[in-house]
Structure 1
Amino acid sequence: MLLLLSASIALPLWAGTHSAAAFKKLQSLSGDWEGKDGHGMAVKTSFQVLASGTAVMETLSPSGMEDMVTLYSIDGGHRPRPLLPHEQPAAHARGA
């Protein structure tokens, strides 16, 4: 459910939606959310508005896995985008 919520907000961000309106939708998710993934496992996510409203940090906490973090900001005033690529913790362990 949470993944669908994130996708329903994120997809319009890259589909030509006006950047300020799309970013405000992302900011409106501020807070903690709980739901289940496609396999029925518990998932928690939180959205936090940072840097005087210029960035939004999403922390996804799937059951039994480490947290995953994505930071969003407006791309040169054109469209909201992730500032950092979304990577799972295992990807970092392989590179170490």
Structure 2
Amino acid sequence: MARLNTLLFLVVVALSAVALIDCLLTDRARLRSFPRGAWTILILLCPVAGPIAWFRAGKVTSPQDTHAPAALTPIGPEDDPAFVQHLAATLRNR
């Protein structure tokens, strides 16, 4: 039983450490729901629920996310009207 408790303790510590490091290294623009300080306190005070909440709802994971800032969505050159006009002018002048 002591081995199982030790293993569970190590899993919880590792999960909390990974979540805390990920939270601290995530760009501020990708944070969602709470500020970084609130996430840090939640991860430290709730060692199981805090990291799970962070990985589920703490940061924007895809550009299609409804809460994603516009700056995180990739823009291709064909979506830029100035680039398309420049390309058309270059092709006409050949």
> Normalised by the shorter chain, which TM-score bucket?
under 0.3
Where is the helix percentage greater, Structure 1 or Structure 2?
2
Which one has a bigger Cα radius of gyration?
2
TM (norm. structure 2) is: 0.27
Where is the strand percentage greater, Structure 1 or Structure 2?
1
